């Protein structure tokens, strides 16, 4: 095997492929990057227990003299390529177990791993994939994965439920204390689907979607899902089990609706939570709608003191006063997902879940369970 390529081109692709490199596995071959040199392309392949990435490089700077496949220690290889000067870098294999790398005045001999140990990884592509704008896919990930559980005692809740029904794609994540749901319109030219994707896999996919490409294709099979993005195939395993039915948890009637400027609301909640910031995850604040239509956001710490924030809603629909307590972290996390400058906070009761919706965020709902304080 013998080829050369522009250093920057190789590095840009390596930085993507390394996202699927395994660092904790006892199997050394999964810490490697498989290079396949074909007649007109260079293929990079990486995999861990959750995701696999395959990149096909067909750059004009790629010059292939002989083909072959090798398995390179991943981290060392990426770190070395990062340090090379710009220009052409040359690769050749000696005695089937040593990779020679030459660039300008730099030479490196790198011992190879046994390529025969690397597992066969298939990326199944459908004839009728789901097509989405990449910026929409990135937005769906940003607005949902944060609400997935980080606790492994219910593995199914560590993922995001992606469903396609009729002409809608629905993404749902919940950790039992909060829920995020995003619905988007799609063109209907494929079968319905209902899968659960690990939230960490989607977060890694979001990092891949930094390239300025318009479209992403989604291919589904029984055990995995493949996202096709330019020259990248990004495959994730699916979580087994049934995602809980969440539609009944989302209220549909709201006797109390408050509309706020998002920034004003976020600042008020953030300031009110400062007294208990040392335990931010359990920082509890209370929102009170007074009979005189004033809204107070308060927090109380017996050791430190009490803070009271007054905020005027832009609009109000209410038949009764309300006092409700909730996690400030969950509330602020939810507000960060909106692109709107104004949001509605809708209540059904003091111990019932409430939802947040943005004026310009069609199809996005954030739901939070209140906290009992008495």
Q: Is the dihedral of CA 96, 97, 102, 107 positive or negative?
A: negative
Same domain assignment for residues 112 and 140: no
Q: The tokens 């199944």 sit on which residue?
A: 124
Structure letter (DSSP) for residue 143: H
Number of domains in the chain: 3
Q: Is the model's pLDDT at 278 over the cut of 80?
A: no
Same domain assignment for residues 97 and 161: no
- Count the Cβ atoms, other than its own, within 10 Å of residue 14: 21
Q: Is the model's pLDDT at 272 over the cut of 50?
A: yes
Question: Which of 68, 86, 117 corresponds to the end of one domain?
Answer: 117
Q: Are 117 and 47 in contact (CB under 8 A)?
A: no
Give me 354's structure tokens: 């409430």
Same domain assignment for residues 360 and 298: yes
Same domain assignment for residues 283 and 330: yes
The pLDDT value recorded for residue 280 is 47
Of 205, 153, 200, nearest to 175 (Cα)?
153
Question: Which of 69, 92, 117 corresponds to the end of one domain?
Answer: 117
Q: Is the model's pLDDT at 91 over the cut of 80?
A: yes
Structure letter (DSSP) for residue 155: G
Mean pLDDT, rounded, for 241-253: 92
| 125 in any annotated domain | no
In the chain, % helix, strand, coil (3-state, to 5) comes to 25, 40, 35
Q: Are 182 and 140 in contact (CB under 8 A)?
A: yes
Mean pLDDT, rounded, for 324-345: 96
Report residue 347: phi and psi, to 5°. Answer: -120, 150
CATH of the domain at 317: 3.70.10.10
Mean pLDDT, rounded, for 225-241: 96
Ranked by mean pLDDT, which of 38-47, 218-227, 243-252 comes out on top?
38-47
Stretch (H or E) spanning 265: helix 262-272
**Could you tell me what percent of the chain has a pLDDT over 90?**
75
Same domain assignment for residues 309 and 356: yes
Same domain assignment for residues 243 and 328: no
The pLDDT value recorded for residue 167 is 85
| 6 in any annotated domain | yes
Same domain assignment for residues 97 and 137: no
Give me 227's structure tokens: 């996202």
Q: Is the model's pLDDT at 147 over the cut of 70?
A: yes
Q: Is the model's pLDDT at 362 over the cut of 90?
A: yes
Question: Which of 196, 213, 247 corresponds to the end of one domain?
Answer: 247
Same domain assignment for residues 274 and 348: yes
What angle separates helix 7-17 from helix 74-83, to the nearest 10 degrees? 140
Ranked by mean pLDDT, which of 35-49, 205-219, 308-322 comes out on top?
35-49
The pLDDT value recorded for residue 169 is 92
Same domain assignment for residues 271 and 301: yes
Q: The tokens 């606790």 sit on which residue?
A: 151
CA 281 to centroid of chain Cα atoms: 21
Q: Is the model's pLDDT at 279 over the cut of 60?
A: no
Sheet containing strand 305-311, edge to edge, reads: 305-311, 295-301, 284-289, 322-327
The pLDDT value recorded for residue 282 is 67
DSSP-H helix ranges across 273-367: 328-335
Domain that holds residue 174: 131-228+235-247
| Summary mean pLDDT of the chain | 92
Give me 343's structure tokens: 């949001």
| 373 in any annotated domain | no
Alpha carbons within 13 A on the beta-carbon side of 214: 0
Structure pTM? Answer: 0.92
Structure letter (DSSP) for residue 370: -
Which is higher by pLDDT, 58 or 282? Answer: 58
User: Per-residue confidence at 127, pLDDT binned at 50, 70, 90?
Assistant: confident
In sequence order, the 6+-apart residues with CB closer than 8 A to the CB of 186 are: 130, 131, 132, 164, 167, 168, 169
Of 317, 321, 324, nearest to 351 (Cα)?
324
User: Per-residue confidence at 291, pLDDT binned at 50, 70, 90?
Assistant: confident
| 126 in any annotated domain | no
Same domain assignment for residues 268 and 354: yes
User: Per-residue confidence at 189, pLDDT binned at 50, 70, 90?
Assistant: low
Same domain assignment for residues 141 and 81: no
In sequence order, the 6+-apart residues with CB closer than 8 A to the CB of 138 are: 206, 209
CATH of the domain at 72: 3.10.150.10
Stretch (H or E) spanning 324: strand 322-327
| 354 in any annotated domain | yes
Same domain assignment for residues 239 and 254: no
The pLDDT value recorded for residue 186 is 86
User: Per-residue confidence at 277, pLDDT binned at 50, 70, 90?
Assistant: low
**Could you tell me what percent of the chain has a pLDDT over 70?**
97
| 124 in any annotated domain | no
Give me 38's structure tokens: 């074909």
Q: Is the model's pLDDT at 320 over the cut of 90?
A: no
Mean pLDDT, rounded, for 325-350: 96
3-class DSSP state of 93: strand
In sequence order, the 6+-apart residues with CB closer than 8 A to the CB of 42 are: 3, 5, 35, 36, 56, 57, 58, 62, 64
| 374 in any annotated domain | no
The pLDDT value recorded for residue 302 is 73
Mean pLDDT, rounded, for 24-47: 92
The pLDDT value recorded for residue 276 is 61
- Count the Cβ atoms, other than its own, within 10 Å of residue 257: 15
Q: Is the model's pLDDT at 353 over the cut of 70?
A: yes
Residue 250 CA: distances (Å) to CA of 111, 165, 197, 285 = 57, 18, 22, 22
């Amino acid at each position: 095997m013998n080829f050369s390529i522009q250093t920057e081109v190789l590095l840009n692709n390596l930085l993507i492929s390394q996202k699927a490199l395994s660092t904790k596995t006892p199997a050394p071959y999964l810490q490697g990057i498989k290079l396949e040199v074909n007649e007109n392309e260079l293929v990079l392949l990486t995999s861990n227990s959750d995701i696999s990435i395959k990149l096909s490089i067909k750059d004009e700077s790629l010059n292939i003299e002989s083909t072959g496949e090798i398995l390179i220690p991943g981290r060392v290889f990426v770190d070395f390529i990062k340090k090379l000067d710009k220009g052409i870098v040359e690769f050749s294999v000696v005695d089937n177990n040593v990779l020679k790398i030459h660039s300008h005045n730099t030479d490196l001999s790198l011992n190879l791993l046994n390529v025969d140990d690397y597992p066969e990884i298939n990326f199944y592509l459908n004839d009728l994939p789901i097509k989405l704008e990449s910026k929409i896919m990135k937005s769906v990930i940003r607005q949902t994965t944060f609400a997935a559980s980080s606790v492994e005692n219910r593995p199914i809740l560590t993922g995001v439920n992606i469903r396609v029904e009729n002409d809608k794609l629905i993404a749902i994540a919940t950790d039992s204390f909060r829920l995020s749901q995003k619905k988007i319109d799609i063109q209907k030219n494929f079968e319905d689907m209902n899968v659960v994707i690990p939230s960490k896999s989607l977060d890694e996919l979001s990092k891949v979607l930094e390239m300025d490409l318009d479209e992403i294709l989604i291919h589904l099979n029984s055990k995995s899902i493949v996202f096709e993005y330019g020259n990248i195939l990004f495959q994730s395993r699916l979580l087994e089990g049934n995602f809980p039915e969440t539609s009944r948890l989302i209220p549909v009637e709201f006797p109390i609706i408050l509309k706020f400027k998002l920034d004003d609301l976020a600042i008020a909640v953030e300031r009110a939570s400062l007294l208990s910031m040392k335990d931010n995850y359990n920082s509890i604040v209370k929102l009170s709608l007074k009979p005189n239509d004033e809204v107070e956001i308060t927090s109380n710490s017996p050791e430190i003191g009490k803070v009271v924030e007054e905020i005027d809603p832009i609009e109000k629909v209410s038949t009764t006063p309300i006092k409700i307590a909730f996690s400030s972290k969950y509330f602020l996390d939810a507000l960060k997902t909106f692109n709107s400058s104004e949001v509605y906070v809708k209540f059904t009761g003091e111990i019932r879940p409430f939802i947040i919706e943005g004026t310009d965020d069609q199809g996005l709902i954030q739901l939070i369970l209140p906290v009992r304080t008495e």
